[in-house]
Structure 1
């Protein structure tokens, strides 16, 4: 690699680490909590999520209408958002409510992006209420919001986007700096993956590189999937889906003639039976119609089975299917998202959780080892940032700018928070170089 390009990458790597390190540690530790949420929730909420069956087996269930009515009876001021009927024989039915005066958003969240509603848990056999819990008090919801926005709402989601985008830069520049010469050319080749023990800073450098490379693909997957629902990059991702015809369709409307003709509205039980006939092997979520021309919406609540993902909309009176889409109808980008996001959340089981725990620990180690390397090389009372002067910039190969500038522009457009921060750092660097008074010698 050209020495000046190496110096540029080293300084960029330093900048990326300086920006992303505290965010990465925070995201890794909070992500670790979220990855462990199934086991934690099983201990905390078993009395709400599960019901005891009599010795004789499963009795017949009460109608879903009775279960919903029982949940609403104790909460007359709260609006019904959606219902997750009991799927397994020991599951409770979950009725999601919206707090009074809360603005309705997907997921029942307030304007600031934190859940304001609650969940009522109902015994599906007796239609008795087991308990009620504000959504944000569920450990999984709390840890998810802590991980994504530090419990500060959507206005803080840009912070995770900043850390994730610069960590991608950190990984790319670190790989370029580490890349060894082939053995045939006198380099270390694949042997560079084996740490040199007992060499001080060199040992830390080798461990830093080996761990990052060993978990590189998994880490990149977690970062990219996380960026798809971040504040600004997520908006761009959804806009790309819409441009490619992969966005969710506009909701159809119930035929007004059915309502005007006096047809009775569809009941919860009838809708549930129709949905279960089409999707018997997955937990579902049922959303009631809003207004005279609203429709029933049914979709999979369980995200751990992407191939069984579906969305269906029904006329509120006749039960006619107005829209239906399943896995086979999803385009490639939507399928990738349907698999990637549950993986990011650790929803595929213990092996998925184990991989995420290892990625989180590897990310924390990368930060710690990078800090150790900096500490061992820093001069006393100095920041010890890699030097980059005007002469080094002038010595950059002309071909570098032909790919580096378009790449930076493309990433800035796709990841706006990265673009804004990159512009700030470039401004600082340009100002620093402009104020450079003595022509420094080219770095060796």
Structure 2
């Protein structure tokens, strides 16, 4: 190699090369935002509301959920009788009061198959009123947040949006990275009438909240359609859906925990055991709940009441404190615990996922957890609004306003290769990446033909 060639090889990247890389990253940051921001606004608003689900439900449904403390309490069986007198049918679940001022909730399945939640005063045994099962205002908000209204399509959208949000943050950090001067790094310049104000507001907000968005995107993946299911299988182990190493030596049914109602993510596919039919009479719901109390289930636990000869009493509770999560299955005849599972029994993978989910829901660290995530949700809305305003101010008339192609197409290919790594981790994101690549090629050719 000649001296001239050596000097050229040692020379730092030219401004043109740096500009090409910036344009390549900017172009894909734009595409990521185009795909993700509409979802992020919806997720941020519904997520902010759901952080305060207990408080909002208690306010909206105060007539059903709040009671005055009294000296004596009604038995569970008496409350069930009162609920069935109001709504004829079969009681399938009893949820105990979480606090002294909370009502009990009894789920009754009517003869036509419809389920109603009947709220009962645990002291007087009087029925306070009814709602459709899972009919509270915050259940509706949760379904909006998870896009469960749209079934598999919604869960697919969650996975794609989560994966692209990760790519959005990664490319955003590169675009924010200081190059010349300090303006717009941690301060906002200009006035709202100027594009630079919205650029700086977007960049500064993004860099402060980027880590939280990454966390929320990753911990939201357990609800996704492909990645979530596969990781769920891995985290659960292979012993009837229970954590690997947990001893399960009792007969199992084909029923799964997620069919009974709310359960932890790690136990969604866990099978429910069977009672050993011995010809003896089944224990009463009062006796079953005394056993659950003796075993130390935290207040607010739910009891699934057996409706078949081989069914079990299942007590489960998922409070804010992960260490108090508990699932206990009782033989309906002997009252013997068949499986007793707590958070401590989960494997490392399941523990990590459950911790992430608990923090994602704003539960693990109390009010601090709620308000930190509330600030993040507000910041996400600011990011979306500022991005839209920036785009509006710079868009060419009659065009989408996609950032210009780099002069050196190898830079664009390099960025796409890096994004493809994320697509390999999240396959549905990879499929959408191919779609966007095809869209970009069509758009580029069309503009060349027009221009």
Counterpart among 201, 206, 209 of residue 215 in structure 1: 209
CA contact (8 A) 2:107 2:118 kept: yes
Provide the aligned C-alpha RMSD in A: 3.0
CA contact (8 A) 1:20 1:166 kept: yes
Provide, for residues 136-172 of structure 1, a one-character-per-residue CA deviation record: whole Å limited to 9, x for no partner.
5411111111222274555434334333332222111
Secondary structure, counterpart of 1:297 in structure 2: strand
Counterpart among 143, 163, 174 of residue 165 in structure 1: 163
1:274 and 2:268 equivalent?
no
Distance in 2 between residues matched to 1:125 and 1:147, nearest whole Å: 35
1:176 and 2:188 equivalent?
no
Equivalence for 2:341: 325
Distance in 2 between residues matched to 1:12 and 1:140, nearest whole Å: 36
Distance in 2 between residues matched to 1:435 and 1:87, nearest whole Å: 61
1:337 and 2:331 equivalent?
no
CA contact (8 A) 2:80 2:91 kept: no
| Bigger mean CA deviation after superposition, 419-428 or 209-218 | 419-428
CA contact (8 A) 1:122 1:128 kept: yes
1:75 and 2:73 equivalent?
no
Equivalence for 1:427: 438
Superposition pairs of residues 18-167 of structure 1, within 5 angstroms: 18-54=34-70, 58-59=71-72, 61-77=73-89, 79-98=90-109, 102=113, 117-149=115-147, 151-153=149-151, 155-167=153-165
Total equivalences in the alignment: 405
CA contact (8 A) 1:23 1:163 kept: yes
Distance in 2 between residues matched to 1:190 and 1:435, nearest whole Å: 37
**C-alpha spacing 1:250/1:151, structure 2 compared with 1 (3 Å):** closer
CA contact (8 A) 1:48 1:131 kept: yes
CA contact (8 A) 2:205 2:379 kept: yes
Distance in 1 between residues matched to 2:115 and 2:408, nearest whole Å: 57
Equivalence for 1:388: 405
CA contact (8 A) 1:2 1:396 kept: no
CA contact (8 A) 1:120 1:132 kept: yes
Superposition pairs of residues 156-305 of structure 1, within 5 angstroms: 156-181=154-179, 187-188=180-181, 192-198=185-191, 200-242=194-236, 245=243, 248=267, 249-256=270-277, 258=278, 262-279=279-296, 281-300=298-317, 302-305=318-321
CA contact (8 A) 2:297 2:326 kept: no
Query: Where in structure 2 are there 5+ consecutive unaligned residues?
Result: 1-16, 245-265
Distance in 2 between residues matched to 1:436 and 1:151, nearest whole Å: 39
**C-alpha spacing 1:394/1:342, structure 2 compared with 1 (3 Å):** closer
Distance in 2 between residues matched to 1:208 and 1:74, nearest whole Å: 55
**C-alpha spacing 1:164/1:424, structure 2 compared with 1 (3 Å):** same
Equivalence for 1:109: none
Provide, for residues 96-138 of structure 1, a one-character-per-residue CA deviation record: whole Å limited to 9, x for no partner.
2346555xxxxxxxxxxxxx63210112233221211113541
Equivalence for 1:410: 425
Provide, for residues 344-397 of structure 1, a one-character-per-residue CA deviation record: whole Å limited to 9, x for no partner.
3333543333223211211111011112222232233332211226x6323558
Distance in 1 between residues matched to 2:115 and 2:163, nearest whole Å: 32
Distance in 1 between residues matched to 2:62 and 2:291, nearest whole Å: 29
Secondary structure, counterpart of 1:118 in structure 2: strand
Task: Give, in angstroms, the shift of residue 72 of structure 1.
Answer: 2.1
TM-score using structure 1 length: 0.81
Distance in 1 between residues matched to 2:349 and 2:183, nearest whole Å: 34
Task: Give, in angstroms, the shift of residue 21 of structure 1.
Answer: 1.8
CA contact (8 A) 2:184 2:204 kept: no
Task: Give, in angstroms, the shift of residue 210 of structure 1.
Answer: 1.3
Provide, for residues 73-111 of structure 1, a one-character-per-residue CA deviation record: whole Å limited to 9, x for no partner.
33234x433211234333221112346555xxxxxxxxx
CA contact (8 A) 2:91 2:107 kept: yes
Task: Give, in angstroms, the shift of residue 272 of structure 1.
Answer: 1.0
Secondary structure, counterpart of 1:132 in structure 2: strand
Equivalence for 2:256: none
Distance in 1 between residues matched to 2:373 and 2:413, nearest whole Å: 40
